[in-house]
Amino acid sequence: MADLPRPHDPSPAYGPDNLPYDAIGGDSGVRGLVEAFYDRIRDESTLLRDMHPPDDRESREKLYEFLSGWLGGPQLYIEKRGHPRLRMRHMPFAVSQEAVDEWLRCMGLAMDDREISGGLRHFLEQRFSHTANFMRNR
Ligand code: HEM
Protein backbone atom coordinates (compact mmCIF):
# COMPACT_ATOMS: atom_id res chain seq x y z
CA MET A 1 0.00 0.00 0.00
CA ALA A 2 2.74 2.43 0.96
CA ASP A 3 4.22 2.26 -2.55
CA LEU A 4 1.04 3.32 -4.34
CA PRO A 5 1.12 6.77 -5.92
CA ARG A 6 -0.73 9.44 -3.96
CA PRO A 7 -2.66 11.45 -6.56
CA HIS A 8 -4.37 13.58 -3.90
CA ASP A 9 -1.10 14.81 -2.40
CA PRO A 10 0.20 17.02 -5.19
CA SER A 11 2.78 18.97 -3.17
CA PRO A 12 6.27 17.50 -3.60
CA ALA A 13 8.39 17.08 -0.47
CA TYR A 14 10.72 20.05 -0.86
CA GLY A 15 13.89 20.00 1.21
CA PRO A 16 17.65 20.50 0.96
CA ASP A 17 17.95 17.89 -1.81
CA ASN A 18 14.91 19.09 -3.72
CA LEU A 19 14.67 22.88 -3.66
CA PRO A 20 11.75 24.88 -5.06
CA TYR A 21 14.50 27.23 -6.30
CA ASP A 22 15.73 24.48 -8.63
CA ALA A 23 12.21 23.43 -9.59
CA ILE A 24 11.40 26.97 -10.76
CA GLY A 25 14.56 27.08 -12.90
CA GLY A 26 17.12 28.71 -10.60
CA ASP A 27 18.13 32.33 -11.00
CA SER A 28 16.54 32.88 -14.41
CA GLY A 29 13.33 31.17 -13.26
CA VAL A 30 12.99 33.49 -10.26
CA ARG A 31 13.84 36.52 -12.38
CA GLY A 32 11.30 35.48 -15.00
CA LEU A 33 8.49 35.10 -12.47
CA VAL A 34 9.19 38.50 -10.93
CA GLU A 35 9.27 40.23 -14.32
CA ALA A 36 5.98 38.55 -15.31
CA PHE A 37 4.43 39.53 -11.96
CA TYR A 38 5.34 43.21 -12.18
CA ASP A 39 4.32 43.30 -15.86
CA ARG A 40 0.91 42.00 -14.75
CA ILE A 41 0.68 44.62 -12.00
CA ARG A 42 1.55 47.32 -14.54
CA ASP A 43 -1.06 46.09 -17.04
CA GLU A 44 -3.80 44.66 -14.79
CA SER A 45 -4.01 46.32 -11.38
CA THR A 46 -4.52 50.02 -10.84
CA LEU A 47 -4.69 49.44 -7.08
CA LEU A 48 -1.24 47.82 -6.86
CA ARG A 49 0.34 49.98 -9.57
CA ASP A 50 -0.58 53.14 -7.68
CA MET A 51 1.14 51.83 -4.52
CA HIS A 52 4.46 51.45 -6.33
CA PRO A 53 6.87 54.10 -7.57
CA PRO A 54 6.33 54.96 -11.28
CA ASP A 55 9.76 53.48 -12.01
CA ASP A 56 9.36 49.96 -10.63
CA ARG A 57 12.86 48.67 -11.37
CA GLU A 58 13.93 48.76 -7.73
CA SER A 59 10.69 47.00 -6.66
CA ARG A 60 11.41 44.24 -9.19
CA GLU A 61 14.98 43.92 -7.93
CA LYS A 62 13.93 43.64 -4.27
CA LEU A 63 11.30 40.96 -4.92
CA TYR A 64 13.75 39.00 -7.08
CA GLU A 65 16.41 39.09 -4.35
CA PHE A 66 13.87 38.09 -1.71
CA LEU A 67 12.29 35.20 -3.63
CA SER A 68 15.74 33.78 -4.46
CA GLY A 69 16.41 33.09 -0.79
CA TRP A 70 12.78 32.34 0.10
CA LEU A 71 12.76 29.47 -2.42
CA GLY A 72 16.01 27.98 -1.12
CA GLY A 73 18.53 29.70 -3.41
CA PRO A 74 21.12 32.40 -2.62
CA GLN A 75 20.02 34.77 0.18
CA LEU A 76 20.49 37.85 -2.01
CA TYR A 77 18.06 40.09 -0.12
CA ILE A 78 19.48 39.37 3.35
CA GLU A 79 23.08 39.76 2.17
CA LYS A 80 22.30 43.15 0.68
CA ARG A 81 19.57 44.60 2.88
CA GLY A 82 19.42 42.60 6.11
CA HIS A 83 16.44 40.85 7.66
CA PRO A 84 13.38 41.33 5.40
CA ARG A 85 10.90 42.10 8.25
CA LEU A 86 8.27 41.91 5.56
CA ARG A 87 5.22 42.75 7.62
CA MET A 88 6.88 45.84 9.07
CA ARG A 89 8.08 46.97 5.63
CA HIS A 90 4.54 46.76 4.28
CA MET A 91 3.05 48.92 7.05
CA PRO A 92 3.33 52.19 5.07
CA PHE A 93 1.06 50.61 2.41
CA ALA A 94 -2.65 49.93 2.82
CA VAL A 95 -2.65 46.14 2.48
CA SER A 96 -6.42 45.62 2.55
CA GLN A 97 -8.21 42.37 1.71
CA GLU A 98 -8.65 43.76 -1.80
CA ALA A 99 -4.90 44.39 -2.10
CA VAL A 100 -4.16 40.84 -0.91
CA ASP A 101 -6.57 39.46 -3.52
CA GLU A 102 -5.06 41.64 -6.27
CA TRP A 103 -1.53 40.57 -5.34
CA LEU A 104 -2.49 36.90 -5.48
CA ARG A 105 -4.41 37.40 -8.74
CA CYS A 106 -1.41 39.05 -10.44
CA MET A 107 0.92 36.34 -9.11
CA GLY A 108 -1.46 33.67 -10.43
CA LEU A 109 -1.42 35.29 -13.88
CA ALA A 110 2.39 35.53 -13.71
CA MET A 111 2.61 31.82 -12.87
CA ASP A 112 0.33 31.13 -15.88
CA ASP A 113 2.66 33.23 -18.04
CA ARG A 114 5.62 31.18 -16.83
CA GLU A 115 3.67 27.93 -17.27
CA ILE A 116 4.25 26.97 -13.64
CA SER A 117 2.01 23.97 -12.96
CA GLY A 118 1.72 20.72 -11.03
CA GLY A 119 3.32 20.28 -7.64
CA LEU A 120 5.40 23.46 -7.82
CA ARG A 121 2.30 25.50 -8.63
CA HIS A 122 0.41 24.00 -5.71
CA PHE A 123 3.33 24.65 -3.35
CA LEU A 124 3.76 28.28 -4.48
CA GLU A 125 0.04 29.05 -4.33
CA GLN A 126 -0.10 27.88 -0.73
CA ARG A 127 3.00 29.79 0.36
CA PHE A 128 2.11 33.00 -1.48
CA SER A 129 -1.41 32.89 -0.10
CA HIS A 130 -0.19 32.37 3.45
CA THR A 131 2.39 35.18 3.23
CA ALA A 132 0.07 37.64 1.48
CA ASN A 133 -2.63 37.18 4.12
CA PHE A 134 -0.03 37.66 6.85
CA MET A 135 0.77 41.06 5.30
CA ARG A 136 -2.79 42.39 5.59
CA ASN A 137 -2.73 45.47 7.83
CA ARG A 138 -5.98 47.36 7.20
C1 HEM B 1 -0.44 41.21 0.20
C2 HEM B 1 -0.36 42.11 -0.75
C3 HEM B 1 0.92 42.89 -0.99
C4 HEM B 1 0.99 44.19 -1.36
C5 HEM B 1 -0.18 45.12 -1.59
C6 HEM B 1 2.40 44.53 -1.47
C7 HEM B 1 2.88 45.78 -1.83
C8 HEM B 1 4.19 46.14 -1.77
C9 HEM B 1 4.71 47.47 -2.04
C10 HEM B 1 3.86 48.66 -2.45
C11 HEM B 1 6.05 47.44 -1.86
C12 HEM B 1 7.05 48.62 -2.03
C13 HEM B 1 7.83 48.46 -3.30
C14 HEM B 1 9.07 49.33 -3.34
O15 HEM B 1 9.58 49.72 -2.28
O16 HEM B 1 9.56 49.60 -4.44
C17 HEM B 1 6.40 46.10 -1.46
C18 HEM B 1 7.66 45.67 -1.17
C19 HEM B 1 8.02 44.36 -1.00
N20 HEM B 1 7.17 43.28 -1.01
FE21 HEM B 1 5.18 43.35 -1.08
N22 HEM B 1 3.14 43.42 -1.19
C23 HEM B 1 2.29 42.39 -0.91
C24 HEM B 1 2.64 41.08 -0.63
C25 HEM B 1 3.93 40.60 -0.66
C26 HEM B 1 4.28 39.20 -0.53
C27 HEM B 1 3.27 38.06 -0.39
C28 HEM B 1 5.64 39.13 -0.59
C29 HEM B 1 6.54 37.93 -0.51
C30 HEM B 1 6.19 36.72 -0.88
C31 HEM B 1 6.13 40.48 -0.75
C32 HEM B 1 7.47 40.85 -0.82
C33 HEM B 1 7.93 42.14 -0.85
C34 HEM B 1 9.34 42.51 -0.73
C35 HEM B 1 10.51 41.57 -0.52
C36 HEM B 1 9.38 43.92 -0.81
C37 HEM B 1 10.61 44.82 -0.70
C38 HEM B 1 10.74 45.29 0.76
C39 HEM B 1 11.75 46.39 0.92
O40 HEM B 1 12.94 46.09 0.90
O41 HEM B 1 11.37 47.55 1.09
N42 HEM B 1 5.07 41.33 -0.78
N43 HEM B 1 5.25 45.34 -1.44
- Helices assigned H by DSSP within the chain: 20-23, 26-44, 46-51, 57-70, 76-81, 86-89, 97-113, 118-134
9 falls within a domain: no
CATH code where residue 54 lies: 1.10.490.10
User: In this structure, are residues 69 and 20 in contact, taking their beta carbons and an 8 Å threshold?
Assistant: no
Q: Which domain holds residue 95?
A: 22-134
26 falls within a domain: yes
Report how many domains make up the chain.
Answer: 1
134 CA closest ligand 1 atom index: 1
Q: Is the pLDDT of residue 8 over 70?
A: no
Q: Is 106 in the pocket of ligand 1 (CB under 6 A)?
A: no
47 falls within a domain: yes
pLDDT tens-digit map of 75-89: 999 999 999 999 999
Q: Is 90 in the pocket of ligand 1 (CB under 6 A)?
A: yes
120 falls within a domain: yes
Q: Is 99 in the pocket of ligand 1 (CB under 6 A)?
A: yes
4 falls within a domain: no
99 falls within a domain: yes
121 falls within a domain: yes
119 falls within a domain: yes
**What's the gap in Å between 25 CA and the centre of ligand 1?**
22
Burial letters 60-91, b for 16+ CB under 10 A, else e: bebbbbbbbbbbbbeebbeeeeeebeeeeebe
User: Which of 40, 80, 96, 103 maximizes ligand 1 atoms within 8 Å of its Cβ, making it the mutation to test the pocket?
Assistant: 103
In degrees, rounded to 5, the angle at the alpha carbon of residue 119 between the alpha carbons of residues 6 and 21 is: 135
pLDDT tens-digit map of 23-82: 999 999 999 999 999 999 999 999 999 999 999 999 999 999 999 999 999 999 999 999
| Stated pTM of the model | 0.93
**Which residue's C-alpha comes closest to atom 2 of ligand 1?**
100
